[in-house]
Each structure stands twice: as structure tokens, then as C-alpha cells.
Amino acid sequence: MEKIKSIEAIIPPPAPHMVGNGFRVHNFFPGHPLIGKKRMSPFFLLDYNARIDFSPSEEPRGVGVHPHRGFETVTLSYHGKVAHHDSAGNSGVIGEGDVQWMTAGSGLLHKEYHETGYSRKGGPFQMVQLWVNLPAKYKMTAPQYQEITRNKMGKYQLPADGGTIEVIAGSYEEVQGPASTFSPMQVYNARLEKGASANFSFPQFFNTGLLVIEGSITVNGENVGTDHFVLFKNDGEIFTLEASDTATILILSGAPIDEPIAAYGPFLMNTWEEVEQAMKDMNAGKFGVLQE
């Protein structure tokens, strides 16, 4: 018989900081002392741009050219649009409700900024960026992208018009998500109508958490407000969400990667020697060239 996965902590949004001039984020981890670098492995970082309004701007705000190696970035758009370019010539726009899953792997240069049309109009902006660690044997895999538009996600309709579980990675009630991953994980957007509930079951050893994007919910009977993160203990498998009002919840669960971590800036490797090599490779032009 499955046991309840109990709550370890309900974490309010930490003080925000700017990433470039286009992203005002709350870093839930690895900056939070309770979570650090490994407690939510394989998820290494969660930056949350809580909903804010940007004024119109002819010059798109964003973050300039920066490198990545050794992990994946997963960008989820809830309001607003983000454009991006990289040193391999890839570019695109992450629209509202869409997800971009970028495997940086062996390394590239990247820049992200508000999409031109959104920038000129301004308005609500709300995003999540995750850094997903890669196992050592995959850290130098070739860079690649998965453009996961909302209509490509797996969708499980809850009974009685209670809402939808959008499956981005993994599966929910045999509905599969489109994302290909390098280690076992589940990533969902749960969109619940007021009063609706949904049950979730993950292996006990999976590290599991959720972020309330909109609305408020109860988790196993405990109230959780907008912009709060719930960290679960590794003591059971199942939990229940109920929407106190119409709610959107990002749910993360994955098998931990039990390997050393050497993290420095935009490099996420296993040893400091690998970090030093990444810096040398970038300075030698091996990550390519990208104009600001």
C-alpha cells in the first residue's frame, strides 16, 4: 500500500534579483539552504519570474550572451514571450504556455530577451527557468533543442471538468509527455478549476516539489499560497492537491543523480578540473561566436 508523501517545507518566494534587465527572479534553489545543490536533484536550479508587468520598450529587455555546459535549461512561459539565439545558429520564440528544453551539453553561447512584439506592447510577464543536471556520461553530449508547444504536451482531463494535467516530461495516468530526458523525471503543469482535486504518485526516492504559479491550493490538507514552493519528504509516494480557487501548479519529481557537483556560474560539471576546462574551451572559441 502506498504511503503519503509528506511535506518537508513550504517555502515563500525569496527576495528577487535581476538577471540581465529582463528577468526579475526568485531563486528557490540552489540558493535556499534547505535545498542547496542536491536536495531537488536532478533539478539543480529554479528561477521563478513571478508575475509582473513590464512597460513597453522599443529595445527588448533580456540577458546578454552567456555560456552553458553540462546541463539543460528548461524555460516555461506562463505570460509574455521570450526570444533566444545561440552560437550554433538556432533561434526561436517561447510563447505563452510553451516550453523550451535546451540541452547545452558540451557547450554553446546563448542569449535570451523579450520577444519584439511583446516588448513593444509590454504587459504581464511570468516565467520559470529550470536547470536540469546531466549525468556525467552525458555532460558532453551535443547541444540540442526540444520546442514543446502547449499543443504538443500530453493532456489528462480530470473528471467533472476539474481541469487538465499537462504532461511535459514523464507520464501521468498513462498519458506521456513529449520531452526526452537523460534521467527519469516527471514535469507537469497542473491546471485545476476551483474545488477540483488531483492525486499524484511518484517513487519514494524521487526528489519532489511543486510551485504554485497561480491561485492557491491545499496539499494533503495544508494551505499553500501563490508563488510558494512545496518541498516533499522522501517518505512516501502519494499526495493530493485541491484547488482553493482556479490554480496552476508546476510539479517536479525525479530520480536523484548521485554524483559529485562542481558548479561555477553557467557551468555544471562533476569536477573543478572540468569547470576549468570549460572556461579554457570557451576562451578558445570552442563554444562558437554570438553577437550581443
CATH classification of the domain holding 179: 2.60.120.10
Alpha-carbon gap, residue 43 to 73, rounded angstroms: 10
Residue-wise burial string across 113-124, b where 16 or more C-beta atoms lie within 10 A, e elsewhere: bbbeebbeeeee
**Mean model confidence pLDDT for the chain:** 97
For residue 249, what pLDDT band results from cuts at 50, 70 and 90?
very high
Across residues 100-109, what is the average pLDDT?
96
Q: Does the structure show a pLDDT above 80 at 254?
A: yes
* The three cell numbers locating residue 252: 517536479
Predicted local distance difference test score (pLDDT) of residue 151: 97
- Is residue 129, in this structure, part of any structural domain at all? yes
Q: How many domains does one find in the chain?
A: 1
> Does 285 map to a domain?
no
Which residues form the domain of 195? 7-254
Using a 10 angstrom Cβ sphere, with 0-12 exposed, 13-18 middle and 19 or more buried, the burial of residue 135 is middle
Q: Does residue 266 lie within any of the structural domains?
A: no
Residue 33 placed within a domain? yes
Task: Look at residue 157 and tell me if it is in a domain.
Answer: yes
Name the pLDDT band for 9 (thresholds 50, 70, 90): very high
Instruction: Tell me whether residue 172 is in a domain.
Output: yes
The predicted structure's pLDDT at residue 2: 87
Q: Is residue 262 part of a domain?
A: no
If one compares 90 and 277, the residue with the highest pLDDT of the two is: 277
| Alpha-helix residue ranges (DSSP H) falling in 8-111 | none
* Residue 273 maps to a domain: no
Give the CA distances from residue 273 to residues 18, 105, 134, 264, 280, in Å, rounded to whole numbers and listed in that order. Answer: 30, 17, 17, 11, 11
pLDDT digits (tens, 9 = 90+) for 65-97: 999 999 999 999 999 999 999 898 888 999 999
> Which residue in the block uniquely carries the three cell numbers 562542481?
262
